[in-house]
Structure 1
């Protein structure tokens, strides 16, 4: 494998592969570096992505990888990018296996890492029946007994969306509730109950929820729980290179997926509040096209 490329893409899931496809079709020399640990690896099915609705995420990624690697100018390595620095008018990327690569441009498609609370059962259910998005998973749990683990404005917002999918809806604030009087009135009008008891664990079978156990020893059965956990960038390389983050912790990009550092682009969950396969693919496609446009402008 050679060491010099026009573009290095760090992250080879949906966004990274989509960017590589756009670049490969423009005959750009591209290297994809991927650690093979997508954040949705536990999720059984992907939804709300036209032509692929209900297909397992791993299957979508496998088909995408196979198609992208048909383009001979695109290389792929399973490895972890551990350091990167500006070098010789471009960027040097070093991997965990001590391989060093260089490219004129870098695209980070590195995703996010969810900071799942150490509550028994949460990690095992995450992406299966403990879910983050009604657009991605809500239809499959329609008309089922559903809980929202959140408080305040976020809980109220989620309740308004999920309330359209089920009439059996509860908000689990996991402590003292924090709603305005107007929000409480709306929740009451829509028959949404608030439970303030703290959660001690969730009982499940292979990631499928059975009961929520509270610290007061009471239990309540649920089919699904929505939750929004804090997150961090899966890779620290963009920030180490000087890329600014937004106040929410995403990589700051412009309308063309360009970061605040010249020559670096970002796409997918790491720079987008809409966490879905469809949005990742779209932003990756745009990033690839814009990097190609920048290279063309420099070379033509």
Structure 2
């Protein structure tokens, strides 16, 4: 890359990163987006709950967004992987897998998270298709279907309350001893929501569409959808190396302006919020872009 100096480098070029870039491009900021091309929802067939784009494949949304963002001539896109960054007197140096060293005044991390999906047969193939994380993103498509909730305790109870509005056929799968308060047990029973404590050994599916659960005791039961919330880790370690703090849940800690705990560094999208959706990523990215521009403006004006 000939030009190696930018006002803002955005690491991560999916929905949040592209949204931030658009806000900055419209303010004529010199911006570089670095992206490795591995969006976390690449297996999801359709995106939902995003007004004007409901039901559109995620890749189509991001491709259209990228095309629109790159109409702003001060914005550039690099297909590469950022592997390190360092604080400098004037901002930051960013290093990429291909050997590039780039310089910027501000950094925006839109790097997302990586789900730690269990190494159980069928889980990875179904993740994002019929093994799902969010009733708002996927629930309508599985309304009135036989649905499992792979969780325990408060999370299982919360999900059951939401999913109960979408289907009456719910089973909670705790993969071990159920952990609910007496009043929660009573409420689940009142809503005819059974609890199964058996371990799951496999998900039987057809091209990611769940057909049945297989249990370690040899039982098998048909299901159409399975909600699950897996542990995750940050997709990039660079924010840690710069000193960015995390929340108790493992997200990058940001304030109401998407600023991290490190001056000059912003974060947006799944890496910084529990609201995990395309719409939330776009909103967070737009705010991060605007606030980064505001910081640059304050320094100059």
TM-score by length of 2: 0.99
Q: Which runs of 5+ in 1 are unaligned?
A: none
How far is 1:204 from its partner? 0.5
**Aligned counterparts of 1:100 and 1:56: Cα–Cα separation in 2:** 34
Q: Secondary structure at the match of 1:238?
A: helix
| Counterpart in the other structure of 2:230 | 229
**Cross-structure match for 1:62:** 63
Residues 106-185 of structure 1 correspond to what in structure 2 (within 5 A)? 106-185=107-186
- For 2:30 and 2:119, locate their aligned partners in 1 and report how far apart those are by CA, in whole Å: 43
The runs of 4+ residues in structure 1 deviating greater than 3 Å are: none
In 2, Cα distance between the equivalents of 1:228 and 1:159? Answer: 13
Q: Provide, for residues 68-118 of structure 1, a one-character-per-residue CA deviation record: whole Å limited to 9, x for no partner.
A: 000000000010000100123200000000011010000000000000011
Distance 2:200 2:179 in 1: 17
1:239-260 deviation digits (Å, cap 9, x = unpaired): 1100000000000000000000
Q: 1:1-300 residue pairs with structure 2 within 5 A? A: 1=1, 2-300=3-301
Question: Structure 1 CA distance, aligned partners of 2:275 and 2:289?
Answer: 19
Measured in 2, the distance between the counterparts of 1:230 and 1:9 equals 25
Point out where structure 2 has 5 or more consecutive residues left out of the alignment: none
Superposed CA deviations along residues 173-227 of structure 1, whole A, max 9, x for unmatched, are: 0111111110000000001010011000110011000110000000000000000
Deviations 1:248-291 (A, max 9, x none): 00000000000000000000000000000000000000000000
Q: Distance in 2 between matches of 1:102 and 1:141?
A: 47
Distance 1:124 1:176 in 2: 27
Equivalent-residue separation in structure 2 for 1:96 and 1:119 (angstroms): 32
Q: Secondary structure at 1:77's aligned position in 2?
A: strand
Q: Give me the whole-angstrom Cα distance separating, in 2, the residues matched to 1:194 and 1:138.
A: 20
**Inter-partner Cα distance in structure 1 for 2:93 and 2:161:** 47
Note the alpha carbon deviations across 1:22-57, whole angstroms, 9 max, x for none.
000000000000010010000000000000000000
TM-score between the two structures when normalised by the length of structure 1: 1.00
CA offset at residue 21 of structure 1? Answer: 0.1
Paired residues, number: 300
Q: Distance in 2 between matches of 1:179 and 1:208?
A: 30
Structure 1 CA distance for aligned equivalents of residues 224 and 165 of structure 2: 16
